[in-house]
């Protein structure tokens, strides 16, 4: 599979997906969004891949937003369609059955931030900058930012950022809970790898079902969510991993999970 706007390789169970338009600060044009989905789809059911690290090429940006050149061409009807199709891709990211970590290496703005928000975990370099500057262009979020940001950092904090368009640094993003960790730039990918390598030692089916419980559960009432959790919890007891995990504990040895 060959791509124009992303780099994609797999090493040690990790798929590395790099947005690769550094001269445009990795702005997310439609071609890039489609390639992102195709790349993820190609490893979704591949048992040799356990997780994904998503980052941006170059020193400056993770992604500086949707491509403003493309946005400028939209009509009301095409803009709605563009938004719906992009939302579909971000739902695919959010419901991906393996952890996706956004390694935010620089500007993480607009659609770039919305993409990072759809990932399961966000780790930022000290140089990263975050914002939803759509209002500067006379538009608003169209890729879930007005929905995922308040759910992640709280309504009041999100509203301020969404309606001022203010940019914040990585330390402030950490304080707000927008990102899980902040690292020196040269340790960003290593931190993401460390998180994934920890996950890879756990029961793969339990990890997958946990992602499902959180991602689907967040859209449910608490009553429905805990019911979903009970169902998925019960499903864990049909796996060999469950037998191995409990047996290994009782035998005081590390578990050797097979993802079955």
Q: Does residue number 66 form part of the binding site for ligand COA (CB under 6 A)?
A: yes
Report the nearest approach of ligand COA to the CB of residue 122 (Å): 18
The size of the interface with ligand COA (CB under 6 A), counted in residues, is 17
User: Which of 23, 21, 17 is CA-nearest to residue 1?
Assistant: 17
Asked if residues 125 and 105 have their Cβ atoms less than 8 Å apart, the reply is yes
Instruction: Give min distance, CB of 165 to ligand COA, in A.
Output: 8
Give me the least distance between CB of 19 and ligand COA, in Å please: 12
Nearer to ligand COA, 165 or 225 (CB): 165
Closest separation in Å from C-beta 111 to ligand COA: 6
Show the site string, 113-142: x = touches ligand COA by CB under 6 A, - = not. --------------------xx-xx-----
**Minimum CB–partner distance for residue 205 and ligand COA (Å):** 38
Quick one: which segment of 32-40, 59-67, 115-123, 156-164 binds ligand COA (CB under 6 A)? 59-67
* Residue numbers 67-86 binding ligand COA by CB under 6 A: 67-69
Tell which one of 6, 27, 89, 118 touches ligand COA (CB under 6 A): 27
Q: Which residues are catalytic?
A: 114, 134
Which of these ranges, 12-20, 21-29, 35-43, 219-227, lies near ligand COA under the rule CB under 6 A? 21-29
Q: Does 104 bind ligand COA (CB under 6 A)?
A: no
Buried b (16+ CB within 10 A) or exposed e, 202-232: ebbbbbbbbbbbebbbeeeeeeebeebbeeb
Cβ distance to ligand COA smaller for residue 27 or 57: 27
Q: Is 24 one of the binding residues for ligand COA (CB under 6 A)?
A: yes
The contact set with ligand COA (CB under 6 A) reads 24-25, 27, 64-69, 107, 109-111, 133-134, 136-137
């Amino acid at each position: 599979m060959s791509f124009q706007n992303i780099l994609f390789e797999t090493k040690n169970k990790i798929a590395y997906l790099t947005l690769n338009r550094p001269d445009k600060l990795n702005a997310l044009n439609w071609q890039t969004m489609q390639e992102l989905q195709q790349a993820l789809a190609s490893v979704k059911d591949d048992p040799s891949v356990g997780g994904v690290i998503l980052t941006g090429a170059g020193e400056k940006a993770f992604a500086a937003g949707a491509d403003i050149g493309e946005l400028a061409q939209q009509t009301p009807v095409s803009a709605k369609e563009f938004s719906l199709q992009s939302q579909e891709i971000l739902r695919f990211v959010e419901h991906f059955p393996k952890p996706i970590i956004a390694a935010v290496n620089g500007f993480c703005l607009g659609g770039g931030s919305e993409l990072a928000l759809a990932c399961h975990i966000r780790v930022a370099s000290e140089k990263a900058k975050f914002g939803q500057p759509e209002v500067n262009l006379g538009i608003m979020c169209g890729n879930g930012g007005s929905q995922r940001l308040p759910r992640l950092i709280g309504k009041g904090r999100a509203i301020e950022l969404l309606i001022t368009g203010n940019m914040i640094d990585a330390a402030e993003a950490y304080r707000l809970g927008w990102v899980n960790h902040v690292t020196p730039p040269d340790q960003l990918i290593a931190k993401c790898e460390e998180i994934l390598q920890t996950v890879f030692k756990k029961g793969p089916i339990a990890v997958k079902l946990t992602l499902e419980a959180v991602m689907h559960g967040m859209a449910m009432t608490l009553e429905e969510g805990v019911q979903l959790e009970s169902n998925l919890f019960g499903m864990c007891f049909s796996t060999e991993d469950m037998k191995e995990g409990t047996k290994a504990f009782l035998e005081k040895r590390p578990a050797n999970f097979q993802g079955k």
